[in-house]
Amino acid sequence: MGILDGKVALVTGAGLGLGRIEALALAEAGASVIVNDLGSGLDGEGSDEAPANDVVREIEAAGGKAAAAFGDVSDWEDARRIVRQAVDQFGDLNIVLNNAGIQRDGMIVKMTEDQFDSVMRVHVKGHFAMIKHTMDYWREKSKAEGGEPLYGRLISTASDSFMMGNLGQPNYAAAKAAIAHLTLSAARECQRFGATANVILPRARTRMTMSGPWASIFAEPEDGSFDAFAPEHIGPLAVWVASPHAANVSGQLIQLWGKHIRVFAAPTAALDHENEQPWNVDELQKVLGPFFEGKKPIEDGFALPMM
C-alpha cells in the first residue's frame, strides 16, 4: 500500500529537474500522475513533447500510472485543459504541485521588459491559472457532494531567492514572492473545501542552478561525500505535503535541501510603536532615528542573507 494510493496528482514542469523527481516520487507513493511539461528551454523559449513523454514511460516502467499533458501553464486555456485531463482520465484531481518555472536573470539596469514579463507570466500567472482551474473543479465537486470535505492539496514552488532579494534576480525574486503570497491567500480560500495550500522552497542541482553563478555550490561533490543538492532529496517532501500526514498543514513555507529542513515563521515587527502625537517628519525621526542608528543597510533589513 502506498501512502497516496487512489489519489490523482498533477505536476507542472514535470519533464525535467525537480518536477520529474516529484512526479516519480508521487507515482511511487501510489498516485496516478498527470505529467505536464512544455519542454521549453531554461529561458522559456521553445517546446518539446519528449520530456513529459519520457517521464510517463519512466513511471509506467516502474509499475505506476501516468499520462502526459503537454502545454503551457501560463496559458489560461492550456491550464484549464490540463486540469480537465486529470479528471477525465483518472476520475478526480487531489494534488496539484505547481513547479513549472523559467529563469532569465539580469541586473535591473540591463533587464528588458520581456525578461521581466516572461518570468512573471510563467511563474505567477502559471501558478494562478492552475490554482484557479483546480479550485473551480473543487468547488463544483464539493457542491455536488453536499459540501463534504474533499482531499485537496495545492503545493506551490517558491525559492528563498525572494526572501534574500537576490542580486541579479529582480524578476525571479518578485515572482517567487508573489507565488508565496498567492498560495497563502489560496490556503485561506480552499480551507472551505477541506483542502490545503503550502509552499515548498527547494534547493537542488538542476539545469537552473547549474547555469547560474552558484553552479559550484550545487555541483556533485568530487570526493564522494554526501550530495546535499541531489534533486532526489526533494521527492519525499512533495509526498509528505501531499499525504494524509499533512491534513492539518496549510499556509506554510517549507524549505528542504540535503538533510536540512526549515519551516519559516510569519514575519515579525522589529519595531511596533504607537506614538503620542500624529506623525510628521520630526516625530518620525524621534522614533526611527534611534531605532535605525547602528543598523547596517540591507544586512539589517528585511532580507535573509545571500546564500
List contacts with ligand NAD (CB under 6 A): 12-13, 15-19, 36-40, 42, 44, 51, 72-74, 99-102, 122, 126, 157, 159, 202-204, 206-209
**Smallest separation, CB 152 to ligand NAD (Å):** 21
CB 133 → ligand NAD: shortest distance, Å? 14
Output 133 or 151, the one with its CB closest to ligand NAD: 133
**Closer to ligand NAD by Cβ: residue 192 or 207:** 207
How many residues are recorded in the chain? 307
CB of 85 to ligand NAD, least distance (A): 14
3-state secondary structure of 156: strand
What whole-number distance in Å separates Cα of residue 261 and Cα of residue 265?
Answer: 13
Q: Which is nearer to ligand NAD, 42 or 135 (CB)?
A: 42
User: Of the candidates 61, 59, 69, 70, which has an alpha carbon nearest to the alpha carbon of residue 30?
Assistant: 59
Cross-strand pairs, 201: 255
Which amino acids are annotated catalytic?
159, 172, 176
| Nearest residue relative to ligand NAD (C-beta) | 17
Minimum CB separation of residue 225 from ligand NAD in Å reads 19
Q: Give the separation between CA 282 and CA 43, rounded to whole angstroms.
A: 49
Q: Which residue do the cell numbers 505529467 mark?
A: 35
Please give the full DSSP string across 63-98, using - where no structure is assigned.
T-EEEEEES-TTSHHHHHHHHHHHHHHHS---EEE-
Task: With residue 116 as reference, give the H or E element that holds it.
Answer: helix 113-120
224's grid cell: 564522494
Cβ proximity to ligand NAD: between 12 and 94 the closer is: 12
Q: Tell me the CA distances in angstroms from 210 to 107, 123, 132, 216, one per residue in order.
A: 19, 19, 32, 8
Q: How far is the CB of 166 from ligand NAD (least distance, A)?
A: 10
51 versus 170: smaller Cβ distance to ligand NAD:
51
